Amino acid sequence: MKTLFGSAQSNSEFTAGSVVAIGNFDGIHLGHQSILETAREHARELHLPLVVYTFNPHPTLELKPQSNLKLLMTYEEKRELLPGFGVDYCVEERFDSAFAALGAREFFEQVLLASLHAKVIVVGDNFTFGRKREGSIPVLREFCHDASVTLCAIPPLEWDGGVISSSRIRECLAQGRVSEAEKMLGRPFFYRSEVIHGDKRGRTLGFPTANMKCQEKFPLRTGVYATSVLWHGSLYPSVTNVGVRPTFDSMDLRVETHILDQSFELYGEHLEVRFHEHIREERKFASIADLTAQIASDTILARKLLSSRNF
With a CB cutoff of 8 Å and minimum separation 6, the contacts of 287 are: none
Cis ω on the peptide bond leading into residue 246 (within 30° of 0)? no
In order of 78, 180, 277, the CA distances from 143 in angstroms are 29, 38, 46
Mind listing the pLDDT tens digit of every residue in the chain (311 residues)?
999 999 987 767 898 999 999 999 999 999 999 999 999 999 999 999 999 999 999 999 989 989 889 999 999 999 999 999 999 999 999 999 999 999 999 999 999 999 999 999 999 999 999 999 999 999 999 999 999 999 999 999 999 999 999 999 999 999 999 999 999 999 999 999 999 876 655 455 557 889 987 778 999 999 999 999 999 999 999 999 998 765 555 556 789 999 999 888 888 999 999 999 999 999 888 888 888 899 999 999 999 999 988 87
Residues 98 and 109: their CA atoms lie apart, in Å, by 16
b vs e for 275-288, b when ≥16 Cβ sit within 10 Å of the residue's Cβ?
A: bbbbbeeeeeeeee
b vs e for 159-189, b when ≥16 Cβ sit within 10 Å of the residue's Cβ?
A: eeeeebbbebbbebbeebbbbbbbbbbeebb
Q: What ranges do the domains of the chain cover?
A: 2-156, 178-306
Query: What is the homologous superfamily of the domain 178-306 according to CATH?
Result: Riboflavin kinase-like (2.40.30.30)
- Give the global pTM: 0.92
Residues 26 and 36: their CA atoms lie apart, in Å, by 13
Fold of 2-156: Rossmann fold (3.40.50)
